[in-house]
């Protein structure tokens, strides 16, 4: 029996943000629950937060590509610890970028349902994706990864 060389994540992480926002949109279409009446301000702030998330995510993906390692935690081996770019400040900038994107979309849609689901989405990402990845990386890379974890926070 061969040992698997991947984190064992079962669902693509973007889906863990897309599913709750889709449910929130469905709920909002049936029972609207706006965040506030300040539509223009929410749209502008949402666009800024969304764009920030896209920038963080794109930079993170670029750094993984540059290190020639996979961005997918399902079924593919990680070949390097990436500790530069946004990875100097957070161990999970891709998930942080997705969370910013989720928040930005929630604001632009003026959808309080989506905001209420966001902590659940982040918790699911943390427990069922990030922690699996961290166990895998600690087992694969050992002390260099543990040292990286000791100096860089999980989120921000």
What residue ranges do the domains of the chain occupy? 46-151
| Residue 136 in tokens | 């895998």
Helix (H) or strand (E) holding 60: helix 39-66
pLDDT score for 130: 96
Beta bridge partners of 90: 153
pLDDT values of the chain reduced to their tens digit, one per residue, 156 residues = 446 898 989 999 999 999 999 999 999 999 999 999 999 999 999 999 999 999 999 999 999 999 999 998 887 899 999 999 999 999 999 999 999 999 999 999 999 999 999 999 999 999 999 999 999 999 999 999 999 999 999 998
Torsion over CA: 79, 83, 87, 90 (sign): positive
pLDDT score for 1: 41
């Amino acid at each position: 029996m061969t040992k698997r060389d991947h984190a064992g994540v079962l669902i693509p992480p973007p889906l863990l943000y897309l599913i709750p926002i889709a449910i929130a949109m469905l709920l909002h279409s049936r029972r609207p629950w706006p965040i506030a009446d300040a539509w223009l301000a929410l749209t502008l702030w949402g666009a800024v937060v969304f764009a920030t998330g896209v920038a963080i995510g794109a930079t993170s993906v670029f750094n993984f590509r540059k290190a020639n390692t996979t961005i997918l935690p399902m079924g593919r081996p990680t070949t390097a610890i990436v500790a530069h770019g946004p990875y100097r400040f957070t161990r999970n900038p891709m998930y942080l970028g997705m969370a910013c994107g989720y928040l930005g979309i929630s604001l632009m849609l003026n959808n309080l349902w989506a905001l209420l689901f966001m902590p659940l989405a982040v918790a699911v990402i943390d427990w069922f994706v990030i922690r699996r990845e961290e166990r895998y990386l600690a087992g694969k890379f050992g002390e260099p990864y543990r040292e990286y974890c000791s100096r860089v926070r999980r989120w921000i």
